[in-house]
Amino acid sequence: MKKIVVLDGCHTIFNMYGCSKNRLFEKVCIKNLKYNFEKFNWSLASKASEIFWQKNYKDQDVNQKKFWEEYYRIGLREGGICTLTRQDLIEHAVNSLLPIKYTIEEGAIELLDKLKEYNLSIGIMSNWDGHLRQVLKDLDILHYFDFIVDSGIVGVEKPDTKIFDYFLEISGFDSAEVLFVGDTYYSDIVGANAVGIEAILYDSVDALDGIFECNRITKLIDAILYLEM
């Protein structure tokens, strides 16, 4: 029986660019690329790019231009654009920055309320910059969380087991009592599993069915189905 649910931050409980991850690829392209997307398949594009991100996150530096070129190349191609002839679109997408606008992820409040209704403790663990608590306060959801682990304060990031061990130490829970929910396979699922914590992959893009051997949800509220794990 689980006694606490620990949630990832960005793209799980809140969003950084004003929309959920399942709309992010579309938002970047429409805002920044000069192209008629009337017949473009956003669903295929978003799913293809998400699969690339998830599969390559552990092996590549996601801050490198080459990574993001491939990310947009794959998405634009799968959506219906011949990327062999539109390197200009890829370049513009890679160099595009969206304004920071924190919003609460769809279904997050419903899940948080349900967990409180079940008298479960709630934690949040995020690879962040030391200001996670302030983001939660600004979104008016700080009061939901009993434990907050910000990598910028702890000094170690997921998937390093040290950050998960740190959480277990400060919370006092045994790993078998914890359920973790996060949107990135290698940092969230692999990291949690490495210390014996059951984990669920939150796939808001609905792109990862069969890609990884793990439990997966496409709606946050479905996390409650795994509380008996």
pLDDT of residue 60: 62
pLDDT score, position 229:
72
Between CA 16 and CA 29 the distance in angstroms is 17
DSSP for 47-70? HHHHHHHHHHTTTS-TTSHHHHHH
Residue-level pLDDT, tens digit, the chain, 229 residues: 899 999 999 999 999 999 999 999 999 999 999 999 999 999 999 999 999 999 998 766 667 889 999 999 999 999 999 999 999 999 999 999 899 999 999 999 999 999 999 999 999 999 999 999 999 999 999 999 999 999 999 999 999 999 999 999 999 999 999 999 999 999 999 999 999 999 999 999 999 999 999 999 999 999 999 998 7
**Three-state secondary-structure class, residue 228:** coil
Residue type, 197: I
Per-residue pLDDT, 78: 98
φ/ψ of 104, rounded to 5, equals -80, 135
Q: What is the DSSP letter of 23?
A: H
CB atoms within 10 A of CB 129: 11
3-class secondary-structure state, position 214: coil
- The strand pair at 215-217 and 198-202 is best described as parallel
Pull the structure tokens for residue 225. 């189905």
pLDDT at position 94, please? 94
Q: How far is it, in rounded angstroms, from Cα 160 to Cα 156?
A: 7
> For residue 36, what are the contacts with CB-CB under 8 A and spacing of at least 6?
none
pTM: 0.96
Architecture of domain 4-16+102-226: 3-Layer(aba) Sandwich (3.40)
15: three-class secondary structure by DSSP = strand
pLDDT of residue 228: 81
- CA distances to 75, 100, 226 from 199, rounded to whole Å, are 28, 28, 9
Q: DSSP state, 44? A: H
The answer to whether residues 149 and 163 touch, using CB atoms and an 8 Å cutoff, is yes
